Amino acid sequence: MIRKVLLVDDDIAVREALGQTLELAELEPIMASSFVMAKDQITEEFEGVILSDIRMPGRDGFHLLSYAQQVDRELPVILLTGEGDIPMAVKAMGQGAFDFLEKPCAAADLLAVLDRALKTRALVLENRRLKRQLERGDPAARMLFGTSPQSDALRARVRNVAPTGAEVLVNGPPGSGISKVAEVVHLLSGVARGPFVKRPAAGLTAEGLSDLCAQGAGGSIFLDEVSAMPKDTQYAALEVLEQGSPARVIAGSSTDLSVKVAEGSFNADLFYRLDVMRVRIPALSERREDIPVLFRHYVAQAAEQSGIPAPEISPDHLAGLMAQDWPGNARSLMSAAMRFVLGMPEEVGRESGLGLAEQMAQVERSLLVAALGRQNGRAAAAAKALKLPRKTFYDKLARYGIRPEDYRR
């Protein structure tokens, strides 16, 4: 969470009193006595917000607001007003100020406004980070979203598997993006310049498989839901692999193929040939801290497709999404994003069927896991980031069965 507050006020007593209030709330004040002293801190990547007095000698708070908007229109600026300055502050809101507070203001009121502003800034910076990620050349970073340890591990696994040239089995729950992971494997492989041909395995004939290999020659073929491949085609696929396929074979399955082998519905030899390199995609319920990242991305996508502005996503709405299990994984989250953009947000908890206590417990667990992931499994640092006493933090870890060492990289 970002914590910096650029505090601009020419009155040293007021500045120090406000700075102390911020420090007691574990925020990080950056003190400045004038616009000139503050301007060098104002950048597009400033990880914080601005709190400024209006009336100052020389360039006042309005100059600062105007300058901040020229640098970054999405940087929150909160103005402090003295007696009689309220009409000016209201006018400033129309010009883009985030909010205003009348001096002297209660600490609780100040911190509430700052909390909203900091959360807004965090969302803006995260969206920009995602956009940069999309523009980078690495397909794993560009196409496989998430900041959780599980997502980091998935990207690392894909990067390790892709260059080998061996057959790959991509396994994950329904709606988790199996075909997308398969495409990234292709893009990171030595045959990336060749074609990437996708076909459902269900109903695929031996002749169709032969045609598919010819289409994908010099590239990759992706057999989606390979467990549904007819028995005759399974034998043909095994023969193709044993003789040397002209295309790299990537198979996807949302079911456990070893169970299908035990049931006798899937050829054991074909399973072992496909399972040379396995990539497992974790369910959203295993990486809840990725839900806000994915949801914001899908909202931006849906808004662009619909040709309408993306609506603001409140922290409370994101917390509600994190409390759900999402059995449909990324696919169902994508649908939720489209409904959200179209003004039809679903009822929080609809998919999970859980009561408030259970939903809140899931959110709390996800926040604990997210903090440990960000702090590389360091429990003391994670407890400090969450503003929890260490004993309380460790009690919560024990309650949810969370082990810090699982999040060390």
pLDDT the model gives residue 161: 95
What letter represents residue 71's amino acid? Answer: V
- Asked whether residue 315 is domain-assigned, the answer is yes
Count how many domains the chain has: 3
* Residue 328 structural domain: 285-407
191, 256: one domain? yes
Taking the CA atoms of 349, 354, 355 and 358 in sequence, report the sign of the dihedral they define: negative
Q: Are 294 and 330 in contact (CB under 8 A)?
A: yes
**Residue labelled with tokens 């662009």:** 304
150 and 94 housed in the same domain: no
Q: What pLDDT does 255 receive?
A: 93
Domain holding 293: CATH number? 1.10.8.60
> Is 138 part of any domain?
no
Q: What is the mean pLDDT of each run of 10 residues along the chain (409 residues)?
A: 90 92 93 92 93 88 91 93 72 82 89 91 75 63 82 93 94 93 91 89 93 91 95 94 92 94 95 94 91 90 78 83 88 88 60 56 72 80 85 86 75
Residues 86 and 54 in one domain: yes
CB-CB neighbours of 313 under 10 Å: 18
The per-residue pLDDT for 354 is 53
What's the pLDDT at 349?
42
- The pLDDT of residue 405 is 77
**Who's near 1: CB < 8 A, 6+ residues apart?**
118, 122, 385
Last residue of one domain, picked from the residues 266, 282, 298: 282
Residues 217 and 327 in one domain: no
Among 242, 258, 282, the domain-final residue is 282
- Final residue of a domain: which of 226, 250, 282? 282
Task: Kindly state whether residue 278 falls inside one of the protein's structural domains.
Answer: yes
* pLDDT value of residue 351: 47
User: Are residues 321 and 221 both part of a single domain?
Assistant: no
pLDDT of the residue at 33 = 92
